[in-house]
Amino acid sequence: MKNVLFFLIALLSLTSCQRDVQQKVYGRFVPERKDDFAWENEYAAYRFYGPALKPENPSNGVDIFMKNTPAFVLDTFFYNYVNFKIPYHVQHGIGFDGYKVAHTTGCGGLAIVVNDSLYVGDQFDSWQILEQTPNKLVFRLHYDSLNIAGNIFSEDLTVTSCAKKILNKAELVLTPREECSLSSMRVGAGLYLHDSIGAYRFLTEENAVVYTETALSDPGAVRLNKKWYDNTDLGKTHEAIVVPGSTPSIICNTAVALTDYTPGEKLTYWFGGCWNRWSDGKHSFPTEESWIEAIRKEVRKL
C-alpha cells in the first residue's frame, strides 16, 4: 500500500512541477486546508494561518515545510491530505511539515515587545496577491485586530519571495485603530526556540539571529513518522531572521530581533529557513556553519 502511495505522491509532484517548468516561486490561498496562505520557492515552503483556523487559537507566526527537491510540493501535500488523508507531517520522499508553531512567532513571525512582554497576533483576516511571476511572488495579508497591551492595531504584512533566495522579505505596517496609549514599543521578528539543545546565534554585524534545531519540533509529527516509517531521525531545520538596526534578546523562549517602532511607519525585515538535508550542490547547507555563511552572504546582497 505504501508503495502505491509513494507512486501517487511522486506523480502528483511531477504534475505540479510540469504546470510551468520555468516557474520557481509559487503561492496561493488554500481554502481546502482551513484558509492557509502558503507559498514556496526552491529552498522551502511556508504558510500563514487564516480565518477558518480561528477556533484553534492560531498565531500570525510563520510555519515552515522542509523540502529536498526544487520542485513544488505544496499542492501535492494538500491534495493528498484532503483527498487521501495522507499526512504531510510525514517524510514520504519529497519533504514534510515537522515544525510546530502553535501561538508563537514560529519561523520569523512578527514579534512585539512592550514592557518586557511579548505580544503575538492571531490569524489573518484577508489576503491579496500583488504580483506573481515565474521568479517572484508578492502578497499582502491584513489583520483586523491586533491587541498590544490593550491597544488595538490593524496589521498589514507584505511578503516578497524570490527565486534563488533563502530569505523572504517582510514589510510591516501597524496602524492604531483608536487612540494609542503606548509611549514606546519595540517591533521585529522572532524565532521560537523549540529545542533546548538547539543552537541559536546572534550575528551582530548582520543584525541577524540564526537557529538550528531538530526538524521534528512538532510532537504530532514525531508520532506520525514513527507510525508510518518507524523513523524519527529527519535531521535539522535551519532558520534565520534579519532586522536592520535591531538588538537581539531572548524572551518567552523566543529569540527576537527588535528595533524601536513608531505606529504607522513601515518596518522591513527578512526571514527564512531550509532543511539540512536539502541538496543542490554548492547551495546545500548540511551544517550550522554552512547555514550561517549562507545568511552572511545573502545579507550582503540585501
Q: How far apart are the first and last CA of the chain?
A: 47
Q: Band of the pLDDT at 227, cuts 50, 70, 90?
A: very high
| Percentage above 70 pLDDT, the chain | 91
Q: Band of the pLDDT at 195, cuts 50, 70, 90?
A: confident
In a domain, 301, yes or no: no
- Among residues 48, 87, 40, 28, the alpha carbon closest in space to that of 68 is found at 40
pLDDT per position as a tens digit, 64-99: 999 999 999 999 999 999 999 999 999 999 999 999
pLDDT per position as a tens digit, 93-140: 999 999 999 999 999 999 999 999 999 999 999 999 999 999 999 999
pLDDT at position 15: 46
In a domain, 300, yes or no: no
In a domain, 183, yes or no: yes
In a domain, 302, yes or no: no
Q: Where are the beta strands (DSSP E) in 193-297?
A: 199-203, 208-214, 236-242, 247-251, 254-260, 266-275
Q: What does pTM read for this prediction?
A: 0.92
In a domain, 163, yes or no: yes
Q: Across residues 266-270, what is the average pLDDT?
A: 98
Model confidence at 13: pLDDT above 60: no
| Percentage above 90 pLDDT, the chain | 85
Instruction: Tell me the chain's radius of gyration from C-alpha atoms.
Output: 18
* Alpha carbon distance 168, 201 (integer Å): 19
* Alpha carbon distance 265, 276 (integer Å): 36
pLDDT per position as a tens digit, 205-214: 999 999 999 9
Number of domains in the chain: 1
In a domain, 235, yes or no: yes
Q: Band of the pLDDT at 16, cuts 50, 70, 90?
A: very low
Q: Band of the pLDDT at 22, cuts 50, 70, 90?
A: confident
Model confidence at 14: pLDDT above 80: no
| Matching residue, cell 520557481 | 24
In a domain, 154, yes or no: yes
Model confidence at 2: pLDDT above 80: no
Model confidence at 268: pLDDT above 90: yes
CATH number at residue 270: 2.70.98
Full domain range(s) for residue 150? 2-295
Model confidence at 230: pLDDT above 50: yes
pLDDT per position as a tens digit, 155-176: 999 999 999 999 999 999 999 9
